[in-house]
Amino acid sequence: MPSRDISSSTLYGKGVFTTITVREGQPVFWDKHWRRLEGNADALGIDLTGHTDGSTFQVLEGEIDAVGIVDGRARVTFSDESSSRIWSNETGRTKTSISIVAAPSRSVPENFKLTISPHRVNTTSPLVGIKSCNYLEHLLAHEEAMKRGFHEAVRLNEDGMIVSACMANLFWEKGGNLYTPSVRTGCMPGTTREHILENIVCDEVESGLKSLENADWIFLTSAGIGIVSVAEFNGRPLATASHPLSRPLPF
């Protein structure tokens, strides 16, 4: 008889994760990633008692070394393996597992095309701003854009405010000023986004699509793809970017 897996992670995707840039064989911004993992886990009631900053980093370094990744990415996932109260009478048992994978960076096309997603972000969701393993909505929005011949899509919230791309944070420049959506829009507070806000003057705003339609340049940022300059937004060609975001940032 096959074993039963009635854990909250298997049944409901109860878990949190982070994707980390790897440069010269080392994780980048680990302190930011660990802080977010702890905060997200606490918000979802996932017990990290058996996992520390130091022990997790050690396992992460070991996986990067074992796979032989020099420049790429790694993902750390904490999954709640406690039995679901809905499917089990077990009480009091808590268990959180860790899994780590490392791989090269995602390939990025030179002529990167961005469109608008029909799928809105719900700012009242308890998962908004949390990098949970319930990531299917992001993936489906991304795949919908790919089917239409685009590489990513801008997602808006229920009020029509710009939030992010499906799987990346979003920046744009107009008249020499740099902007990015405020976390109040429901955007994910990415670690690359945080680093940019710490090092470059940028306004966090709540703004509609008109801002992107009139933007001089648009950039996407994430640990998986780095910083990507958008070549075309919804059919409108964009000029070659000369903003500091188009050049390597200090990591």
Spatial distance between the Cα atoms of 20 and 130, rounded to a whole number of angstroms: 16
Instruction: Say if CB 139 and CB 147 are below 8 A apart.
Output: no
Spatial distance between the Cα atoms of 140 and 199, rounded to a whole number of angstroms: 33
* CA distance from start to end of the chain: 51
Residues of the chain with pLDDT under 70: 1-4, 89-93, 240-251
Greatest CA separation found in the chain? 66
The per-residue pLDDT for 242 is 62
CATH 3.30.470.10 residue ranges for the chain: 8-104
Phi and psi at residue 50, in whole multiples of 5°?
-85, 5
The per-residue pLDDT for 25 is 95
Residue pLDDT, tens place only, 77-133? 999 998 887 787 666 567 999 999 999 988 889 899 999 999 999 999 999 999 999
Tell me the pTM: 0.90
The CATH number of 113-246, from 3.20.10.10, 3.40.50.300, 3.40.30.10, 3.30.460.20, is: 3.20.10.10
In 3D space, the residue among 134, 154, 120, 159 whose CA is nearest the CA of residue 233 turns out to be 154
The per-residue pLDDT for 90 is 66
CATH 3.20.10.10 residue ranges for the chain: 113-246
CATH 3.30.470.10 describes domain 8-104:
yes
Spatial distance between the Cα atoms of 106 and 190, rounded to a whole number of angstroms: 17
